[in-house]
Structure 1
């Protein structure tokens, strides 16, 4: 191989490098194309999510981001990760600025963007190193491309997994799978799980990029190779769009009412103590008036997160009032309340209330939120962060503890104990919560939440998107009820059964199926996620070794 070829910086728009053992093994975008491509990809990724919710844009988004990292120099890949991450996260999380200003938004957006920077760097190492190692061993180009595509998709899942669990329990937001909630491909989540659906989408786009990069005969040949791979991916995608959700056995039906009080329940809302509770009592009374007038009834009533405000279990007057409502409805009421612990901490809790007060059941009638939100419901490393932003840290006055109860309620209904899974607010975004609910025998899922702090921003619809996917993934109906919206009752196939307009007072009433059993996604989702992450880690290791080989 001549020195002139080895030193060439560009060929038909693709930068190349060479190895001693064969033809050019690395093709990559020049930096002046890679960086704007990454930024455009990040922006399209946000548009694929709510509010715009143009889900097909996720495919060109992934294509552009992956292409900007593919076989790239580490420094350029880091800058491309910065461009993609900033374009996506600072748009996607703009709802944080509504009441809290730019500091929390900048802080969280920067942390999430840093994950993209790291992902870009290791993707570049993996794809470039695998290409070099494959060329030295004279492997077929298709084998090299396949190894690169699997590694890149595994790295994406690895980043989503680590980001969703660390630090401070992580923030499992902005995953690729989320965009498919209302798409024809959403049913796949019941077979693949969240991680598997993310991996499948990324793998499809990675195959296209790998096919284009594996072509060493110039830009036109690269485009032809990428187009051929894109055609195969498109045909496969059309076929997968007809895959139905996994079916589970139905054990009965439950008549559910969910009350949205339209309360002033945000951090800075001007209200008196008891106003949020009173709003939900009033909305429930109107609901019962309508049910009685029509001769209808329900088996259970669900209130949102924090709807009973503080210490419902220690407030005889409020407890008695809710008990009378339960007696009138002839149905238990699931109320949200903040409960104090003996050690000075608090829990964000959900309690089953019946005609005689807090109900009793084998499955349990109290659940404490397992994933309280750091910097909102508790302050980790308070002294350290107080030195940086004392006014913001002082807003977090209560320390919420991580709940220890199983995430289910035993609900007296239908002449037996119906087991309902419970996910309070951001609990719904964590895969482990879904598995725990199903493992504990949940037949339906209640998802009480309070989105008042985010007003009319995209946060509530982004969270609803995740709740819709949870319904499909677990094969169970989800009652997503908020103090102000967005509130929906979602069928196991992800369709809306009933809905309320945001920022209105009212109630949803619907009959939902009760189910038993486990979908393939819940049964094997954790294993599949682990295997994908291991594939990503292996790709990084192989790539690093490949880069250390002498040219």
Structure 2
């Protein structure tokens, strides 16, 4: 058991290496292989404990950014909650791997348990927290290509299956079985790892010119927008500078500012409204602004606003999935018993109900249909799928990473946008107040990646694509198939257990 405990901790630590800023993608299947080996043959209670240890060893360092400015309690609470889901993986898989107390590695069972529990983690509690899903570490790997076939869940399934096969190889080698018995699972694991290279990632299509403006903020931290006018001014100055520097280059079709670029309500504050309208009229190009609205009564709204030359604000998108404990406090009175930090969120954000899609013409005669997501929304499969199904031919991700300082949070988010580009076959304009910002082509390649806490601009042509990937067409069905298959396995295991109990009587 001591070896298993150490193995569980090592497994979680190795999985950290797959994510930014380490970016060693092969660490993911290796980590899961070690975890499957550790869990195989133990009792469910021990499996839960081992899974919890692996989860803590992974989530504590990977989500360390959650406590940079608000203290250790929120970070520890979030990491522990997420680790409990890995504990559930351990309990379920341990139960499935002991039908005859033989302790045989079962790669398919392990993969099904992983993808089903990861899907649960993405949905609960309070709408879930799908950050650092397994697939989001794979934008640079052959596994990542598989996102276009079945989305992030399918990538996670194949990674876990590969890890389970590696565990079979390791267990047979440990038991000194003939080398021939190692060949098939080893070949299958490698084959799965390379299979993504057979999946094409097209980047063709008509193009439009985009400019993303990273205006920067006066300071990092929770009070990044204490000087709200300074943040707005930064984005205005950077936009006008980009226009001047772009003389002689192709005319932009759309400018994009990040989330929180105007925390002064630009629809109620005449000064802010006029400043933005003057900027849009001067550049002569539509602009998407990330702002806060003082509405509805008693709430705030986190919004994307479309401003057009000579027209002012013509469209809006209200963030559909505000972040619990970041943008609203669920069950505020209860959580205040544990920490008064909940009152740092003085007013809750109100969720929108409409899918975000802005339509603007491009100089080439094409139509830009920009599918919108704000900050953490990029991590939610359904929100991103909704905008593609609504007709988006390019994705726009507006975010503000100032509240997480110089941490891995921003690179982690950029990695999610890169996988989304592959999953949906869409270009992505990923723009942050402080970085990292980038233009991403539909093959997941990030171009002109900016540095943190600098003023910068990303500009260039991106393909506008309308074709639907298989992942888009399948939607949530891969997860439902995995759930059904897991229920079948659990049912069979229960029947075997009852039959054994009946025979023993």
Q: Structures share a fold, TM > 0.5?
A: yes
The gaps in structure 1 that reach 5 residues or longer are: 1-30, 136-140
| 1:94-105 correspondence to structure 2 within 5 Å | 94-105=64-75
Q: Distance in 2 between matches of 1:232 and 1:253?
A: 40
CA RMSD of aligned residues (A): 2.3
Shift, 1:245, TM fit: 3.3
8 Å Cα contact 1:74-1:125 kept in structure 2? yes
1:318-366 CA distance string (max 9 Å, x none): 2222222222222101001111223322211001001234444xxxx21
- Asked which structure has the greater CA Rg, the reply is 1
Other-structure match for 1:283:
238
Are residues 1:169 and 2:127 paired? yes
Other-structure match for 2:272:
318
1:420-460 CA distance string (max 9 Å, x none): 10011001001001210111100101101000011110010
Shift, 1:227, TM fit: 5.5
**545 and 268 in structure 1: CA distance in 2 versus 1, 3 angstrom threshold:** farther
Other-structure match for 1:89:
59
Q: Distance in 1 between matches of 2:284 and 2:449?
A: 23
Q: Distance in 2 between matches of 1:212 and 1:271?
A: 55
SS of residue matched to 1:220: coil
Are residues 1:233 and 2:189 paired? yes
8 Å Cα contact 2:66-2:404 kept in structure 1? yes
| 1:311-390 correspondence to structure 2 within 5 Å | 311-360=265-314, 365-390=315-340
What is the aligned residue count? 499
**90 and 430 in structure 1: CA distance in 2 versus 1, 3 angstrom threshold:** same
8 Å Cα contact 2:214-2:235 kept in structure 1? yes
Are residues 1:406 and 2:355 paired? yes
Q: Distance in 2 between matches of 1:222 and 1:483?
A: 57
**439 and 384 in structure 1: CA distance in 2 versus 1, 3 angstrom threshold:** same
Which of the numbers 368, 384, 404 marks the counterpart of 1:418? 368
Shift, 1:504, TM fit: 1.2
> With structure 1 as the length reference, what TM-score do the two structures score?
0.86
8 Å Cα contact 2:225-2:263 kept in structure 1? no
Q: Distance in 2 between matches of 1:71 and 1:182?
A: 34
8 Å Cα contact 1:208-1:227 kept in structure 2? no
Q: Distance in 1 between matches of 2:59 and 2:336?
A: 25
The gaps in structure 2 that reach 5 residues or longer are: none
Range that drifts further, 420-429 or 526-535: 526-535
Shift, 1:248, TM fit: 7.7
Range that drifts further, 223-232 or 154-163: 223-232
| 1:6-405 correspondence to structure 2 within 5 Å | 31-129=1-99, 148-210=106-168, 219-221=175-177, 225-226=181-182, 228-238=184-194, 240-247=195-202, 250=205, 252-264=206-218, 266-269=221-224, 271-292=226-247, 294=248, 296-360=250-314, 365-390=315-340, 392-405=341-354
**226 and 313 in structure 1: CA distance in 2 versus 1, 3 angstrom threshold:** farther
Q: Distance in 1 between matches of 2:285 and 2:174?
A: 71
Q: Distance in 2 between matches of 1:412 and 1:309?
A: 27
8 Å Cα contact 1:258-1:303 kept in structure 2? yes
Q: Distance in 1 between matches of 2:266 and 2:434?
A: 21
Q: Distance in 2 between matches of 1:447 and 1:508?
A: 14
Q: Distance in 2 between matches of 1:175 and 1:200?
A: 13
8 Å Cα contact 1:158-1:532 kept in structure 2? yes
Other-structure match for 2:439:
489
1:262-290 CA distance string (max 9 Å, x none): 11364134742311111111111111111
8 Å Cα contact 2:149-2:469 kept in structure 1? yes
Other-structure match for 2:389:
439
1:359-406 CA distance string (max 9 Å, x none): 44xxxx21111111100100000010112212x011011201111121
Shift, 1:413, TM fit: 3.1
**544 and 310 in structure 1: CA distance in 2 versus 1, 3 angstrom threshold:** farther
Q: Distance in 2 between matches of 1:295 and 1:246?
A: 28
Shift, 1:58, TM fit: 1.3
Range that drifts further, 415-424 or 82-91: 415-424
1:493-550 CA distance string (max 9 Å, x none): 0112333222211211110011102100111141112111222233233334433433
8 Å Cα contact 2:228-2:264 kept in structure 1? no
Which of the numbers 471, 474, 477 marks the counterpart of 2:427? 477
Q: Distance in 2 between matches of 1:490 and 1:411?
A: 20
**541 and 174 in structure 1: CA distance in 2 versus 1, 3 angstrom threshold:** farther
8 Å Cα contact 2:300-2:349 kept in structure 1? yes
8 Å Cα contact 1:150-1:535 kept in structure 2? no
Shift, 1:295, TM fit: 5.2
Other-structure match for 2:458:
508
8 Å Cα contact 1:449-1:483 kept in structure 2? yes
Q: Distance in 1 between matches of 2:94 and 2:399?
A: 40
SS of residue matched to 1:256: strand
> With structure 2 as the length reference, what TM-score do the two structures score?
0.93
8 Å Cα contact 1:490-1:496 kept in structure 2? yes
Shift, 1:210, TM fit: 4.5
Q: Distance in 2 between matches of 1:151 and 1:307?
A: 47
8 Å Cα contact 1:154-1:534 kept in structure 2? no
**204 and 426 in structure 1: CA distance in 2 versus 1, 3 angstrom threshold:** same
SS of residue matched to 2:298: coil
Q: Distance in 2 between matches of 1:72 and 1:502?
A: 45
